[in-house]
Structure 1
Amino acid sequence: MTDNYFDSEEYSKIDFTKTKIKKGEYDNCTFLNCNFEGIHASNIQFVECEFIDCNFSNTIVKDTAFKDVDFINCKMIGLKFNEVNLFLLQMSFKDCQLNFSSFYQLKISKTTFTNCNLQEVDFTETIATSCLFDNTDLKGAIFEDTNLDNSDFRTAFNFNINPEKNHLKQAKFSRENLYGLLSDYKIIIE
């Protein structure tokens, strides 16, 4: 059985809940306004692809490869990124809804999250070094034994990161969001 290979193609307004996505490798492809909600997108390779205005909520991405993939204005609620293919994993997120997703035990160094909603996202035991959390809402996000060395939280908000339970060497925070590092101590900052 040969895998399908798709190069530099554009997919627009395709509802993959009705039209089955073909297994294979998608190289340098663009997906515009497509619906992947709840489908099995397992064992697919996405290399240097862009997803714009797509819905990935509750999509099954077991062993799916995201190699240098950009997600822009995508709805990605409840995605189990911890099940993806780890080989050359590299993603960026802009204007995305990632609530209730999981990056559990994943290595996502140098990932950028810009204007994203990451409420209740699980970053337990994640290696998230040199990540950028730019203007990103981290309300209820779980950081436990997470390596956040060199990551930038200067414009992030609503986070609660215990410095005793996470690695924060050279991580950047602003004076305005320091409370997110101290909230476990029940101290009053005015």
Structure 2
Amino acid sequence: MLRKSIEDETFKGVSHADTPLDEAEYQNCTFRDVDLSSADLTGFKFIECDFVGCNLSMATLQGVSLRDTHFADCKMMGLFFDQCNPYSVTFSFNRCILDHSSFYRMNIKRTPFKACSLREVDFSGCDLSGINFDHCDLTGAKIEDAE
């Protein structure tokens, strides 16, 4: 259960391994050049947040809320977005590396993916309607049973 709410803060150049983020609801926060690789973010909430130049590779996203959250120039390899809270997922990706991640059976229609690397990403069973994969690398992406 989240007990803490953090609003309108900027986090810059920190590493979760050295200075772990508090399990909290982050609202209207900016994360710039933050290393969250392999971090356990179980139950965290990110609402109207921006991640710029961050590394979230291999982070645990169990029950995470990503509402109106934007990612730009982020490294996000091996993430299981399908473990996020399914009722609180709206996000966009710009120039991100999402290789080997999974969106399995998610409703991600109209999600912006711009100039992203999506190699070997699992989109099986997803609602992909209205998505524009402008300048994206979808080499080896799985789209079985996607709409």
Pair in the same fold by TM > 0.5: yes
Aligned to 1:108: 108
CA distance in 1, matches of 2:146, 2:37: 29
CA distance in 2, matches of 1:11, 1:101: 25
Q: Any idea what the Cα deviations from partners look like across 1:116-158, whole Å, max 9, x if unmatched? A: 00000000101122112110000000010001xxxxxxxxxxx
- Asked if structure 1 preserves the Cα contact closer than 8 Å seen for 2:27 and 2:47, the reply is yes
Percent identical pairs in the alignment equals 34
Give, as a single letter, the amino acid of the residue that structure 2 aligns with 1:59: A
Q: In terms of Rg, which structure is larger?
A: 1
Aligned to 1:166: none
Gaps of 5+ in 2: none
Aligned to 2:81: 81
Aligned to 1:18: 18
Runs of 4+ displaced beyond 4 Å: none
Do residues 58 (structure 1) and 58 (structure 2) align?
Answer: yes
Q: Any idea what the Cα deviations from partners look like across 1:6-35, whole Å, max 9, x if unmatched? A: 111000001001212111100000000000
CA distance in 2, matches of 1:35, 1:139: 26
Gaps of 5+ in 1: 148-190
Give, as a single letter, the amino acid of the residue that structure 2 aligns with 1:141: A
CA distance in 1, matches of 2:109, 2:2: 33
Aligned to 2:146: 146
Q: Number of residue pairs matched?
A: 147
CA distance in 2, matches of 1:79, 1:29: 21
CA distance in 2, matches of 1:86, 1:58: 19
TM-score of the superposition, structure 2-length normalised? 0.97
Aligned to 2:135: 135
- Asked if structure 1 preserves the Cα contact closer than 8 Å seen for 2:124 and 2:142, the reply is yes
The structure whose residues are more often helix, as a share, is: 1
TM-score of the superposition, structure 1-length normalised? 0.75
Aligned to 1:99: 99
Higher relative contact order (CA 8 A, sep 6+): 2
1:88, CA displacement in angstroms? 3.0
CA distance in 2, matches of 1:134, 1:62: 29
CA distance in 2, matches of 1:109, 1:24: 27
CA distance in 2, matches of 1:2, 1:95: 31
3-state DSSP of counterpart to 1:82: helix
Aligned to 2:32: 32
Root mean square deviation of aligned Cα? 1.0
CA distance in 1, matches of 2:95, 2:89: 20
CA distance in 2, matches of 1:132, 1:18: 38
